[in-house]
Chain A
């Protein structure tokens, strides 16, 4: 998956921008994400329904995946069934 690819959730309104990715399947709300939205919405899996937040970056434990949420939704993000977590950013003072 190329950096800059915009993926849409099949289960909710979530859209993400790929910053970094490997070969696994990126999912939202339990369903695979794709550049196009499917005609029929996928059901929102209960285990992946915590929601996404605008502007947050989501990462895996190994640092192989990083997704930027550019449109929030009800589903939450995972790769091959493993939930991604919000990247902790240490706040820097504004320098410009």
Chain B
């Protein structure tokens, strides 16, 4: 079964309904399917092994993902923020490809790799003009790979994660009912096209017949005005975006955004302060925290709107804590917490998060990471409480092992963040002759506050947690390093602490 079915069904049910708005241009589902079929012709003519996109979000991302699917060629959107050398290496791994986007850069970096290069405008225009041959085309049956995404590669060379048509359709059929969006509904998509959330947003919006409104480059002002102009009803943001939107609203107010009914977030840890403020500023909106990975075709657990409001209103600390939870597994997915020896752990016990389900690929071009029973080790550390709510403590690789005792950076950071002078904190392992590893922390001070004395911070941790968690080294930084998706780059902090 081919993911192009999603667009074919939308075009069958509502050919003249607007499915995409990008930079003022409106595309109906019929237009998009026509262009995807045109892209099939371009891809076949080019003999490409991959269809790559090196560009911000635009109609080309939609046309390319479905055109590639029809042609049976993996679609591989690339991170345009990568340095030249890294990007050239990735382009070499997918040669020969039809590469859409930054022509100058592709030619400069990979002229000798045999790619066919088209600018965004050329690709969109040619795809619309290409008329399929008289005889009906045989489109790919969709038994192979639909999408290949390179992981960010913070520890080694980027891995090529692959998502099959069956994984993506398993996700869509399991989480979205066809055509359920109201005619006026619109989803604001601001996540870059090379991120799994950027891809799943396209697929689920099209299948629910919810108009996609694209914002290629994020700014809080641009986001707010697009919500008002297009009467946006749904939006997905990463935590740093939400924080900046709130700042902009507090600075300049926000008129005309009452259409916004649903705000989903994910892709990084949401600061408690930000989500509390957001719940106050958008009293009518439903908030959803989505947890997922590239290898799981997006969302596998979510904390829904009712959970958010209940947690905010509750006096019970256990229920209030749910605001920091990832919620519960979606019905079509199983989640387990396992210990170091692979044993399944009970409620409250911290370990590694394992996921299983049709949407879970867990597969890289080189090899599959699934175990014999189909479980995918996420390398995320966390636990599930007695009511089935999942809590994330960080990456399993970030766990600090001091003298055989495992500690999650998150719990130490949460305690430090309760200090009035601490705006941001990051805990990581530092080498220790005595313990193997010990705790080091980097701290960002809040504006207008004096630097707290080191013993005060140590006492704070000692009083709330065990003495083993007390940081041995504390450094003060002007800011912590985050990537563009709001993910904290712990490795960089580790380098600073080791230096």
Residues of A near any B CB (own CB < 8 A): 3-4, 17, 19, 54-57, 68, 70-71, 89-96
Contact = CB atoms under 8 A, between A and B. Distances in A.
A94 B1 contact: no
Contact of A95 (B141, B142, B166, B302): B302
Contacts of A19: 1, 173
Contact of B330 (A3, A56, A70, A92): A92
Contact of A54 (B9, B142, B197, B288): B9
A93 B13 contact: no
Contacts of A54: 9, 12-13, 178-179
A4 B4 CA distance: 12
B179 A92 contact: no
Contact of A55 (B177, B197, B236, B305): B177
Nearest to A57: B173
Interface stretch (B69-77, B200-208, B384-392, B474-482): B200-208
Given A17-B5, A55-B13, A96 B173 contact: no
B177 A93 contact: no
B302 A93 contact: yes
A71 B12 CA distance: 8
A42 to B, nearest CB: 23
A70 B8 contact: yes
B416 interface: no
B415 to A, nearest CB: 30
Contacts of B201: 96
Given A55-B179, A92-B175, 14 more contacts: A4-B2, A55-B9, A57-B173, A70-B8, A70-B9, A91-B180, A93-B302, A94-B204, A94-B208, A94-B234, A94-B264, A94-B288, A95-B298, A96-B290
Nearest to B301: A95
B310 to A, nearest CB: 14
Interface in B264-311: 264, 266, 286, 288, 290, 292, 298-299, 302, 304-305
Contacts of B264: 93-96
B177 to A, nearest CB: 5
B299 A96 contact: yes
Interface in B1-54: 1-2, 5, 8-9, 12-13
Nearest to B332: A92
A92 B173 contact: no
Given A4-B143, A19-B173, A55-B13, A95 B179 contact: no
A23 to B, nearest CB: 20
Interface in B133-189: 141-143, 166, 173, 175-180, 187
B166 to A, nearest CB: 8
B262 interface: yes
B203 to A, nearest CB: 9
A56 B178 contact: yes
Nearest to B307: A93
A93 B197 contact: no
Max count, chain B CB within 10 A of own CB: residue among A17, A93, A96: A96
A89 B177 contact: yes
B151 to A, nearest CB: 19
B331 interface: yes
9 contacts: A3-B166, A70-B8, A91-B180, A93-B264, A93-B286, A94-B210, A94-B288, A95-B236, A96-B197
Given A55-B177, A89-B177, A90-B331, A96 B236 contact: yes
Contact of B299 (A4, A55, A95): A95
Contacts of A93: 262, 264, 286, 288, 302, 304-305
Contact of B142 (A4, A71, A89, A94): A4
Contacts of B292: 95
Nearest to B201: A96
B302 A4 contact: no
A17 B207 CA distance: 15
A66 to B, nearest CB: 9
A96 B288 CA distance: 9
B141 A4 contact: yes
The 3 closest A-B pairs by CB, nearest first: A55-B178, A95-B290, A4-B1
Nearest to A68: B173
A96 to B, nearest CB: 4
B188 to A, nearest CB: 12
A82 to B, nearest CB: 23
A93 B180 CA distance: 12
B358 to A, nearest CB: 10
Contacts of B178: 54-56
A94 B292 CA distance: 13
